[in-house]
Amino acid sequence: MDAKLTPRVDQAVAYILNKRLWQPSVAIVLGSGLGDLAERVEHRECIAYCDIPHFCSTHASGHAGQFVTGYLSGLPVVLLQGRAHRYEGIANHQASFPIECVRAMGAKLLVTTNAAGGLNTRYCVGDLMVVDSHIDFLWARGLWGAERCQTQLAPSRVPPYDWSLIQTAHSIARQLGIGLQQGCYLATLGPTYETRSEYRMFRWTGADAVGMSTLPEVLAAQRLGMEVLAFSVITNVASTDIPQSTTHDEVVALGHAAGPRLMRIIETLLNERAGHPD
């Protein structure tokens, strides 16, 4: 294990490994309404986030808040079933803490999922999108956090999203006959869904979808040298012209409905990876 582990990561990982000695090769984060994939994990064992030292529990509905170990498509995996969000009052380093832990346990690939609002006018409710870039309105600066920005300017970022995995996701989606969009994810702090004017402004940024998560974990994974693949389920589309509000219940319900298509893509991808171990 990495000798430079921070004591907090060290303690959390020791607790998890004490429950189950485990070396995952893939970590998967399951976002709003997308927790059902955990049911498909074989030899599954779960640990509640609230029991793991230094882990933040999540109070967002549609997020079980547990750490799940087992096998998916023949690969040892760890699933983060639900996530704590910045809008729940936590700092960026707390939102990315679980990624530090799974990396320390050995995971080399992060597959992360979220529910998002469609900004791209071609998107429909229920569409899936693979993320190829992002706009960071969480100001989640990762290694170049506030404490460092004062003394050092950061280089511009290389996108964390692995290009060849994006291509693989497309070819699997085609094989399975599942539509897959590709686009830019804009992360906002929330916790409210957007007003019509905010949706209009976010559309103007050029982003294709908007959500309230994902970037802290993606940036941490990039910093830790992990491959990253991120998907959004478009649970609602930005309503800029008619006064129609987005509710969390709709978002979670749509996540449950569209989730199985996304899960087929992820499982097939892991299957291919299991056949071609690195």
By beta-carbon proximity to ligand HPA, the closer residue of 47 and 257 is 257
Catalytically active residues, by annotation: 32, 63, 85, 87-88, 115, 212-213, 236, 248
Least distance from C-beta 240 to ligand HPA, angstroms?
11
Least distance from C-beta 60 to ligand HPA, angstroms?
11
By beta-carbon proximity to ligand HPA, the closer residue of 162 and 194 is 194
* CA–CA dist 240, 114 (Å, integer): 22
Chain residues in the site for ligand HPA (CB under 6 A): 115-117, 193-194, 210-212, 235-236, 246, 251
**Angle formed at CA 261 by CA 174 and CA 138, multiple of 5 degrees:** 100
List the alpha helices (DSSP H) in 33-127: 92-95, 97-105
Least distance from C-beta 195 to ligand HPA, angstroms?
11
The C-alpha torsion from 240 through 243 and 246 to 250, rounded to 10°, is: -120
DSSP state of 106: T
Considering only CA atoms, which of 186, 216, 209 is closest in space to residue 86? 216
Q: 145: how many CB neighbours lie within 10 A of its CB?
A: 14
Helix (H, G, I), strand (E, B) or coil at 123: coil
The residue assigned the tokens 């506030």 is 146
By beta-carbon proximity to ligand HPA, the closer residue of 250 and 267 is 250
Least distance from C-beta 277 to ligand HPA, angstroms?
35
DSSP state of 171: H
Least distance from C-beta 116 to ligand HPA, angstroms?
5
- Confirm if 5 and 104 have CB atoms less than 8 A apart: yes
Helix (H, G, I), strand (E, B) or coil at 227: strand
By beta-carbon proximity to ligand HPA, the closer residue of 13 and 237 is 237
